[in-house]
Amino acid sequence: MRIKGAFKMTESVYKFVELVGTSEESWEDAVNQVVDKAAESLRDLRIAEVIKLDAKIDNQKIALYRAKVKLSFKFEE
């Protein structure tokens, strides 16, 4: 039985990796660093989920923004 407007989903398997990106500018830039670097060696990136944000402090000021990111990509045999 086919429901009007429904479509067949193709079955896929996805793998997750956790990476930490850093930036002297912002957390957003730290996340972008993770995605940009991962894209150099991983194909078919799907989702970037920010797990944790923190910052390194030196001399009472933020010196480094850090973002722990969980990335998913399509698993290929």
Question: Going from the N-terminus, what domains does the chain have, and what CATH number goes with each?
Answer: 14-74 (3.30.1660.10)
Question: Quick check: 45 and 75 in contact, CB under 8 A?
Answer: no
pLDDT digits (tens, 9 = 90+) for 6-63: 555 567 888 999 999 999 999 999 999 999 999 999 999 999 999 999 999 999 999 9
Whether the model clears a pTM of 0.85, i.e. scores above it, the answer is no
Closest to 47 (Cα-Cα) out of 29, 36, 35, 55: 35
